[in-house]
Structure 1
Amino acid sequence: MKRSLALLLFASLTAQAQAPKWPAITQQTKPWTRWWWEGSAVNKADLTTVMTEYQKANLGGLEITTIYGVKGAESQFIDFLSPKWMDMLSHTLAEGQRLGLGIDMAQASGWPFGGPWVAPADASKYVAYTTYEVKGGASLTEPVSFMQKPIITAINHKVDLKQLVDPVAKNKDLQTLALDQVRFEKPLPLQTLMAYSDKGQVLDLTSKVAADGKLSWTAPAGSWTLYALFQGWHGKQVERAGPGGEGDVIDHLSKTATDHYLAYFDKAFAGHDVKPIRAFFNDSYEVDDAQGEANWTPLMFAEFQKRRGYDLRQHLPALFNKAAEDENQRVLTDYRETISELLLENYTKTWGAWAKTHGALIRNQAHGSPANILDLYAATDIPETEGENLTRIKFASSAAHVTGKPLASAETATWENDHFLSKLSDVKKAIDRMLLGGVNHVFYHGTAYSPPAAKWPGWLFYAAVEFNPQNPFWTDFGKLNQYTARAQSFLQAGQPSTDVLLYLPQSDAYTRPGKVLLQHFDGIEHGFKGLPIETTSELLLTKGYGYDFISDKQVQQIKNTGSTLTTSGGAPYQTLLVPNAHVMPLPTLQNLLKLAQGGATIAFQHQAPADVPGLGALATRRAEFKKLLAQLKFADTKTAGVQQAAVGKGRILLGDDVPTLLAQAGVKRETLTDQGLQFIRRRHAKGHYYFLANWGEKPYAGWITLQTPAKSSALYNPMTEQTGMANIRAAANGLPEVYVQLAPGETCILDTNEGTINGPAYPYLTVAAAPQPLTNPWELSFLSGGPELPAKQQVKELTSWTTLAGDAGKKFSGTAAYTTTFALPQGSGDGFLLDLGRVAQSARVQVNGQPATTLLGPVYQVFVPKSQLKASNTLTVTVSNLMANRIEDLDRNHVDWKIFYNTNMPAKLKENRGADGLFTTEKWSPLESGLLGPVTLTPASISAPVQ
């Protein structure tokens, strides 16, 4: 008997020990925010005050980005990297450590990298060319020269170029000038002069050009075309720069330019402890969003020769699309590949190595670069993405997964809507999108430092959801941050669990000519649009296949043990899919066949690649490529539409239909996507983590099949923080099925285990009867906000406070409390589902004086246990709206709140542009605000679904 009691006690303790438990919330699992220092007009006291507010709102860290200043605060401006600026940085780092806030730092004032210390020799460059025709026996009479055409563009106004001096950084009042691009009219230095005859001869005439441009050369017999290349100054200026940060953007292709740029930071940092900086940050490439493109560097010819194995000067007509089509494509591909490698090695890797000398990481937004951005992301400690398209987001997370980086970050909620219109539920959806795309380290975009004494709406940024204490939704912002931290605590744990490597056909993209020399890659939409990978990547998402993009360099590093492919970061995959690539580098094909020899399965969609890209050693490479392809003896399989070639212990599959190909490769898709759910999956030692989202318009309640083995699963709701053991069963095919309930906009996490784990059951809800409306009057009290607090009142019928509270309510942005009483409702369940109906925009709920929850939407429901209710009950719902109505009041009364240098509040939507071209709300009507209802209670039971 004693033995039985001991066993029961042990079993009880074991079950208790194994009950689901949330991972610890850390500085890293919390969301961080981009923190704009406008004009660097900061002071120590206010820094401490606002940082304390950020910490209380459950933010984990801040990324300092210095930008343009605020009008009227000029006396407070601090030059970027000046001794005083460094003093403010040191104070911030110390306060960050005290408050538990991490600190990153953007490595420019604005973006891209650049500043007043960038000398003309290190500034971004472009190539210009002109051609001359010379007959045999004649000489060129005109000088070989090129005069750079002047360009000047500025933000929101015109500037007379004649009023500026060269270089730009020497000009005064650069904050007011807000220059975007400047090219001075001046002769450009000659890079080379090459002569091409109609007989195929090529001559280098560079040494025959005198300082005055006169060419001392008489053409031999035949007709000759001369190509003169000149190096120009691109003129791109640092965007949104703050005081002391204005100037030329660097030549990202030059290691010398990068080294010189970074040395300036070493000088500024001397004597200061910058070790608390976790990471230095680059806010996207964005050099070529001006006229022309930064497509040249002084050592281009030497770098090209070293990397491609031939002299680019011998093929200038092909570079400029003037030779035979095949030569044009091959030379252009080699040129673009060289640009990509220079950006990778001379900028990204050089920057990363420099950061290590300060004990720091680099966070990099590689998208938009004229390069293979998978390789740029892979060279980054924390790859960072942005945007709303999942395939775009997956470029950064793919590089992190493939190369073993624990974090992938994202600039989140950049332009969710036009100014002041984004709800916390909108932001949550943006966060969920990032998490589903593989991101596990969210950065809001963003938070402008605003001194507490600043007049409302304070200091703002031009393109953002304003995550600032002056925004009414700040009262409930901490709940969103807690949600994000809970979700990221799982998604930062474990390892990626994706089955398919999707080959990125970079060479196919490089072969496509355009209006300019370079291509800029930003997900599939920019650079790969129209190629088969566009539809293939979207199909994989829709059908529930987990996949990561992979580049040629990364393919060449894959190893395998039997059928399992292992990337350089240690992540395992089942197969690699090549989406109808036409050309492929020889080393890539060589390693694919080597992997197949060892037992791997490689799938070619539609066809095997037919040729190698590029021109260097073409005959040798092409012969070896075709020799390898000739080894593939494809034969029909039992599966219609799929052919197979045995290669050693493995195989190469060929077919048009991707799902059929992947099924033949043994890849299982997550069929839960057929129910309209979205997911991302990570593996851990005993099972998997699934992050599931329902962003459909209807609630989902039902069994979902998982494609990974599991005998038990804990279920976590990161918003409600409910947890428990999920109901799980084995389907007829042996796969596990888990029961989930997800309202529209709701997410959950499954923590599956291949063993049997016991613990408290998850509280599934079953509605037991019809909703019962609350009919008693409400007391409406305005608690905080402005411009003034409307009077307290009794409300019989819920409607917008813009109607209930008269003129004061129309312009009020802030927080109000609704209080009512209700008798214990009828019902035999375990409690009641409280549904607030419509809310504008977020709400905190108290029942009988006790906090119940904070609701962000789009659904506003909470379960209230019967044990928390009495015969007579009090319900208080505290609602916060948006900044919009108070901004409307300012605009209607022509109060000038747009007080910023540089871009000064442009509108995202054209209908919100005023006569001055800037954002305005003058044409808006007050937005619905408050508790709109109807508010109901529905009897509900906590139960498990029928097996």
Structure 2
Amino acid sequence: MKYINTIKCMFSHGRAIPIPITTIGMRLPRNRTYVKRVAASKLQALGMVENTKSWLNTSTINLLLLIVTLLIPLQARAAEKIDFTNPLVSGFLDPPKAAKPSIYWLWLNGYVNRDYLQTELKQFSEKGIGGLCIFDMGARGDTKAAPPAGPAYMSDEFIENIAYTLELAGKFNLDVQLAACSSWDLGGSWVQPHHASMGLYHTKIRIKGPADYDRVLPFPELPPNRPKTPDGKPAFVKNAAVLAIPEAKRQPAHEFIFKLPRNDIHRIDHVILYNAQSDNPKRYGKLHLFARDFSVAVSAGNLEEQSFREIIRDSLTPDTKAQRFNFRQAEARYVRLRVYNGHNTNFNMVQLAEFEVYDTNGNNIAASKEIDRTKDSALIILSNSQRASDAKWNADNLNDGQKSGPNGTWLSVGPPPLVIKDRSRILDLTKQVNIEGKLTWKVPPGEWTIIRFVCANTGEKLKVPSPNSDGLATDHFSHEATRVFIQYITNRLKQKIGDLRPTALKQLYLPSYEVRGATWTPDFLEQFEKYCQYDMTPYLPALAGCVIENQDITSRFLYDYRKMLGDLLVDAYYRTASETANEANLGIEAEAGGPGPPVHQVPVDALKALGSIDEMRGEFWPWREYRSQLWIVKETACAAHIYGRRRVHMEAFTGFRHWQDGPFDLKPSADRAFCEGMNHVVWHTSSHQPPEAGKPGWVYGAGSHLTPNLTWWSKAKPFIDYLSRCSFMLQQGLFAADVCYYYGDQGFNFVPAKHIDPSLGYGYDYDVANSEVILNRMSVKDGRFTLPDGMHYELLVLPDRKDMNLQVLRKIKEFLTAGGTVVGPKPVQSNGLTDYPIKDQQVKQLADLLWGDCDGKKVFEHRYSDGKIIWGRSLREILLARGISPDFHYTSDKDDTDLDYIHRRTAEGDIYFIRNRKNRREFVNAYFRVTARAAELWLPETGIILQQPVYEQKPDGIRVPLELASFGSLFVVFRKPVSRPHLVSLDPGINATIVGEREVRVTVFKNGSYKMKTSDGRNIKFEIDQIPSAFQLTGPWDVNFAAGWGAPDSATFAELKSWTKHKNPGIRNFSGTACYKREFVIPPQWFENGNPVRDTLRRKIFLDLGKLWALGEVTLNSQSLGILWKPPYRVEITKAARASQNKLEVEITNTWANRLVGDAKLPPDQRYCKTNITYSGTPGIPWKNIPLRESGLLGPVELVQAVEKTISLTK
């Protein structure tokens, strides 16, 4: 037997529409004919063929009916004529390539078996994969079990492999991307030091004048892995500046200032501090770098020194436990922490793990795990460690120092900072230093601090390159370095392959930015002056931890520096890469928005970076401990929405669990990502698996490995089709949102995972926009904030900040003039030092004009021109007052029912995707903000479209009763006018199907009294009392295990139980497919003349498998009834069942995890599996310590009968 992907029905208009079969895993002989020419007008939805003429053969009828019966139980179903020529319908049934998942196809260690490429790509295509991202990558794990080293990235042999792959990909209709380097951070063996990653390094010395100074200044300590010349000197060095600072005094302590959330005044009563254990105990000794004396001060006003009041001064003990300090209740908008010294007097550094401030309700309000610039929650706004450094443990790293929990460390670099009160007295000695770094200077009287700044290579290299492909990371802030790099790749490809346009190669891929320490480029000073219109040289000491004049001036300079650095990364890297690739007829797809803090410190406006490339990609990790920190979905979706991009690509299922998960385990995370805006899956990962790899084979050190070596590969297509259908539907039309948050202009900006803003509440969705979009793409039409492609929002919400870019404020004035409604606090100053303080005055004057007397406390609204400013009211209150009810909400009998949703609008109607976040079945009344439209249920796991016969128009939308399975999901589509008559209520647990125009057929699984109500007010009641009790299949099962994986060929299970509870270790640790076999006789009273008893009702018989893991496939009397990969594990057997003996086979497939656990406890020469991965989880836990996963058919297995009854809606 072989699987048939689809049945193609040829309609009278000549179009062949594929009807998906492998969505339910239908197995059919190849030598049968299943294709007939039929009239489209005669084909009923769902294969309801009662009215179909005899030219549909029996096999086709049975097949279509079977597709129908495999539906999950729904509260309401209906049949109607489906227009298969409709693009939405045909695309849902047979998703196009643009909706099919792509895969990271890893060539580990660069190794490729060309003889196996055709076999592998053919399998990808047959399973529904739409594209490949070829990723040259080094192998992790056991190097002895890893693939051999292959050719270097971009070598002749490598490109020959690419060329052959492109030929095969075209044959199998697969699109191809090529990662632009081996592993990530854009680099290669051809990158020269002057184009490599750069940092700014410095040294400080103190000298006393008057004197004649004629010496070589100390050279900064550079990273040890920097590129060197043969004589050991740095391969690239450029003096950035040498500055002399007179009589600068140090602050008495290391100082950190925190702004508490939302600019509010909070009442606080205690703090908790954690000392940090050093990561270098040999150097620092038993005392490590434990902090000792500290003080805490608060300000309820501004940041000026005189506004702070000290509330506690105390000492920390030299340990890492939580240390609590109580004080009298104090009001605070800002909290200042000063650390004066440490326990280890041999070093002038200290380390802290965490500082927490608690309000009187017991909430920690000084720490933020996420960056949300729309809320601007607690963050460090001032610290005096090395400000520009992107060191791993630096408090003031590029995301303003946010760390989560005591597992983050703040490192004070060196002694407390210098305070430079008079910037004009700083002397620039750069021209008095020769190429060797020798300073010749007549030192004036007094104490002087000399700071030498040097631009040099960071030594950053590729993260995990294949053995022959290592090289330096490029300078991401250099236009020239990026252009040269991309041109090298495109020129090499064109030299060997020729014109790339006819090939399957569509894009180059730039992975996530994870460069460390890159904060400079050789011409940064010159570019800064053009960008910010002032010379940054006198402010350079701020990048070495100094305070320039005062805290406000220093912070303003750092704003300009970070804004410049972020925009330079966008222009020099992402935009230049796109422009250069486009010249070679290739696009650029990139994970340009992160992942950002706290995992990686990316110096960029994430939305702007994503908007600068051709295709944008995010990522999500389903199982990470703090998974929202690596959940870059909402950010990517927002960028796509505001920049007018159709597809939201997502690196999906990344993690370290390695074969522990089946499709149902992965589904909840996929559904969450769909609800945040993902509409194209890029599966992480699928390594090249030639036969010599063994099984489960060679894989990368992270990922959920979708390869032909999967135990469940033969059963993978239903889940892949599910992802394709969801993606297709969510690529339609435009995202529907009521609110657009502006996240400010701080330079390093990121959008956190989707969450419910308490001010907005559940049922309203949102986007986040940046300055570039507001200034260049947004306008107000008919009172709505509108983008060129039609996206629109009711409200524009300003960030919770006191500063604002002047150009953005002027644009807000335009929005108000055009009739927009803007919500948020009044800015009181500009940001940065450009045209300071003139811009401050301009911002204040314009804000006073626009906000008028609106202060957010007593006056909440101010009308300006045709628009309105609102401050101090909740977003939900504002929307409801405008007559805008929630877009989606629901009611349930359970208090903890938890549903999520996303809404897309098309010219044809509205598409809602609903997911159940609970692992249990839910019955809800769902309300959709739609008027006068009939509801349809589109089921992505099967490709079935149902008209929902039960719905009711309410003042706040259409009420639709829904049943959702455990972690279930579906689409509710509104695209047709309301039909009459229809049902407005129906008892839960009943399936209803509209028959013709005025009848409904109900399907009932339990005896009882039932009632329904029609749209014209009729109450219909009926009794069902003829359903027998479920018939349980007890007794022994014969189980055949796939050979070669440790289990016996067969075993008898007296009762159903997990394989992991079996006494035989081969069964206990078995991975693969086992076939459960048994014979049974259905109770005689269930049949009459060999058919299910009909009496006055139509009866159906279902096989319910109860519980299983991970996937099942049912065959009854040699007829395959489908693949079951998600609950309920129930299938209709009415047509396949016999009144006599029935032969049942149930194939159950688990994952590789249990066999890997068992192998880890065996000597190497007795193991069954072959792979380079010896661990699972975070951190890497050896397989032998991983718990076995419950596997097999667990039951109870029973036969369930249901009855159908036809009821008139008009009599």
Partner of residue 774, structure 2 = 555
Q: 1:478 to 1:130 in 2, by over 3 A?
A: same
Of residues 90, 95, 100, the one that matches 2:163 is 90
1:346 aligns with 2:572: yes
1:774 aligns with 2:1032: yes
1:398 aligns with 2:471: no
Answer whether contact 1:377 1:399 (CA < 8 A) is retained: yes
Structure 2, unaligned stretches of length 5 or more?
1-40, 45-50, 53-78, 248-421, 597-601, 621-626, 892-896, 983-992, 996-1000, 1008-1027, 1087-1092
Answer whether contact 1:462 1:906 (CA < 8 A) is retained: no
Answer whether contact 1:424 1:473 (CA < 8 A) is retained: no
1:271 aligns with 2:488: no
1:797 aligns with 2:1055: yes
TM-score with structure 2 length normalisation? 0.68
Give runs of aligned pairs for residues 346-745 of structure 1, distance below 5 A: 346-366=572-592, 367=594, 368=596, 369-387=602-620, 388-389=627-628, 392-415=632-655, 418-507=657-746, 523-524=751-752, 538-539=757-758, 543-557=762-776, 558-604=778-824, 607-633=825-851, 643-664=860-881, 667-672=884-889, 675-733=897-955, 735-745=957-967
Answer whether contact 2:199 2:457 (CA < 8 A) is retained: yes
Q: Deviations over 1:462-500 (max 9, x none)?
A: 111121222212122111101111111211122222221
Deviation at 1:699, TM superposition (A): 1.4
Q: 1:757 to 1:271 in 2, by over 3 A?
A: farther
The one-letter code matched in structure 2 to 1:413 is F
Answer whether contact 1:843 1:856 (CA < 8 A) is retained: yes
CA distance in 1, matches of 2:858, 2:1148: 58
Answer whether contact 1:813 1:885 (CA < 8 A) is retained: yes
Partner of residue 1100, structure 2 = 831
Partner of residue 192, structure 1 = 241
Q: How much is the aligned-residue C-alpha RMSD, in angstroms?
A: 3.4
Q: 1:229 to 1:900 in 2, by over 3 A?
A: farther
3-state SS of paired residue (1:888): helix
3-state SS of paired residue (2:647): coil
Q: 1:207 to 1:640 in 2, by over 3 A?
A: closer
CA distance in 2, matches of 1:60, 1:460: 21
Q: 1:230 to 1:485 in 2, by over 3 A?
A: same
CA distance in 2, matches of 1:752, 1:95: 41
3-state SS of paired residue (1:395): helix
Answer whether contact 2:99 2:680 (CA < 8 A) is retained: yes
Partner of residue 466, structure 2 = 242
Deviation at 1:150, TM superposition (A): 4.9
Q: 1:747 to 1:454 in 2, by over 3 A?
A: same
Task: Name the stretch that deviates more: 20-29 or 399-408.
Answer: 20-29
3-state SS of paired residue (2:960): strand
Deviation at 1:803, TM superposition (A): 4.2
CA distance in 2, matches of 1:773, 1:382: 54
Give runs of aligned pairs for residues 160-199 of structure 1, distance below 5 A: 166=228, 188-197=237-246
TM-score with structure 1 length normalisation? 0.86
Q: 1:908 to 1:434 in 2, by over 3 A?
A: same
Q: 1:906 to 1:932 in 2, by over 3 A?
A: closer
3-state SS of paired residue (1:91): helix
Max radius of gyration: which structure? 2
The one-letter code matched in structure 1 to 2:529 is Q
1:55 aligns with 2:275: no
Partner of residue 555, structure 2 = 329
Q: Deviations over 1:769-827 (max 9, x none)?
A: 58624224454343536324522234331112344582321232110122334444659
Task: Name the stretch that deviates more: 748-757 or 404-413.
Answer: 748-757
1:146 aligns with 2:238: no
Q: 1:149 to 1:624 in 2, by over 3 A?
A: closer
The one-letter code matched in structure 1 to 2:497 is H
Q: Deviations over 1:232-260 (max 9, x none)?
A: 21111101101442011111000111112
Of residues 1137, 1152, 1156, the one that matches 1:887 is 1156
CA distance in 1, matches of 2:1206, 2:872: 45
Answer whether contact 1:147 1:188 (CA < 8 A) is retained: no
CA distance in 2, matches of 1:373, 1:761: 49
Structure with the higher fraction of residues in strand conformation: 2
Q: Deviations over 1:740-764 (max 9, x none)?
A: 2111111101121263479975998
Deviation at 1:501, TM superposition (A): 0.8
Which of 1 and 2 has higher RCO (CA within 8 Å, sep 6+)?
2
The one-letter code matched in structure 2 to 1:108 is C
Q: 1:397 to 1:641 in 2, by over 3 A?
A: farther
Answer whether contact 2:1109 2:1192 (CA < 8 A) is retained: yes
Answer whether contact 2:827 2:844 (CA < 8 A) is retained: no
Q: 1:765 to 1:257 in 2, by over 3 A?
A: farther
3-state SS of paired residue (2:693): coil
3-state SS of paired residue (2:576): helix
CA distance in 1, matches of 2:555, 2:180: 37
Deviation at 1:414, TM superposition (A): 0.6
Q: 1:137 to 1:41 in 2, by over 3 A?
A: same
Deviation at 1:765, TM superposition (A): 6.0
Answer whether contact 2:234 2:456 (CA < 8 A) is retained: no
The one-letter code matched in structure 2 to 1:870 is R
The one-letter code matched in structure 2 to 1:690 is Y
Give runs of aligned pairs for residues 742-757 of structure 1, distance below 5 A: 742-753=964-975, 755-756=977-978
Answer whether contact 1:710 1:752 (CA < 8 A) is retained: no
Structure with the higher fraction of residues in helix conformation: 1
1:201 aligns with 2:425: yes
Partner of residue 203, structure 2 = 130
Partner of residue 33, structure 1 = 103
1:877 aligns with 2:1146: yes
Q: 1:71 to 1:391 in 2, by over 3 A?
A: closer
The one-letter code matched in structure 2 to 1:504 is Y
The one-letter code matched in structure 1 to 2:555 is Q
Q: 1:824 to 1:588 in 2, by over 3 A?
A: farther
Answer whether contact 2:147 2:693 (CA < 8 A) is retained: no
Equivalent pairs counted in the alignment come to 878
Structure 1, unaligned stretches of length 5 or more?
1-7, 153-160, 171-182, 511-518, 526-533, 914-919
Q: 1:202 to 1:575 in 2, by over 3 A?
A: same
3-state SS of paired residue (1:121): helix
The one-letter code matched in structure 2 to 1:189 is K
Answer whether contact 2:885 2:956 (CA < 8 A) is retained: no
Deviation at 1:612, TM superposition (A): 1.5
Partner of residue 230, structure 1 = 454
CA distance in 1, matches of 2:43, 2:435: 92
Deviation at 1:584, TM superposition (A): 1.7
Answer whether contact 1:853 1:862 (CA < 8 A) is retained: no
CA distance in 1, matches of 2:116, 2:902: 41
Deviation at 1:431, TM superposition (A): 1.5
Q: Deviations over 1:272-326 (max 9, x none)?
A: 14332122111100112xxxx1111001101111111111102223343422110
Q: 1:608 to 1:667 in 2, by over 3 A?
A: farther
Q: Deviations over 1:598-622 (max 9, x none)?
A: 0111111xx2233211111022211
Deviation at 1:148, TM superposition (A): 3.0
Answer whether contact 1:545 1:669 (CA < 8 A) is retained: yes
The one-letter code matched in structure 2 to 1:55 is S
CA distance in 2, matches of 1:480, 1:612: 52
